Structure 1
């Protein structure tokens, strides 16, 4: 009996933690949260905003997914998109989901992210 999504795990190549921190903290305004010590040894980093957690794990043979992505609900989506664009992130609007405003962007390692707001 599912009640919620605890977190979404995305992958990243080795040595990209600083770039991920710059994006997820400075651009998306998330907070980095500590990984448990046994998991921290593997590298990567975890981020949170409200009840949303994104975990970035290190994958040696990393290739960003072309289609797979988390869908993240936001408020004030147009202001949020402008913030991302002002910080150098690509924003691609998509009008194909009835009842929603939405756009796609990518993190520094190419992970696709969907941001949406119900109309």
Structure 2
């Protein structure tokens, strides 16, 4: 049997050489905390962030494929988060309603999709 302890990290990708643009978005707009990558992985490019109790790894690759894959982050104030993203020109996508939850998706400058969600009080 496999016993999962926790989610450690998720990875999305950006084009090679786009780290500065990624920092503007992930650090500047989202306010994520950049962390150092292990020395052995620095030559691969990309960035790492600590987001709550998981890490977001931003890798680089030649070809970016668009799909439904995405990480979802539970936030404390969904409407405040939405307002902040809209004010910063971030593209928002309204998602299909799910009972007991408010949510929406948004896209980074590289078309990676992210979901923010907030559970409704019961």
Instruction: Work out whether the TM-score is over 0.5.
Output: yes
Question: Which residue of 1 is the match for residue 42 of structure 2?
Answer: 40
**CA RMSD for the aligned pairs?**
1.1
Gaps of at least 5 residues in structure 1 are none
Q: What TM-score comes out, normalization by structure 1 length? A: 0.93
* Alpha-carbon distance between aligned partners in 1 of 2:104 and 2:6, rounded to the nearest angstrom: 23
Give the alignment's TM-score, normalised by structure 2.
Answer: 0.91
Given candidates 49, 57, 60, the residue that maps to 1:58 is 60
Length, aligned pairs only: 118
Q: How far does residue 42 in structure 1 lie from its aligned partner after superposition?
A: 0.4
Unaligned 5+ residue runs, structure 2? none
Structure 2 Cα separation of the partners of residues 68 and 23 of structure 1: 19
Question: What is the match of residue 27 of structure 2?
Answer: 25
Q: Which residue of 2 aligns with 1:85?
A: 86
Residue 109 of structure 2 is aligned to residue 108 of structure 1: yes
Take 1:78 and 1:61, find their aligned partners in 2: how far apart are those partners? 34
Q: Distance in 2 between matches of 1:2 and 1:20?
A: 30
Distance in structure 2 (CA, Å) of the matches to 1:113 and 1:9: 11
4+ residue segments displaced more than 4 Å:
none
SS in 1 for 2:91: coil
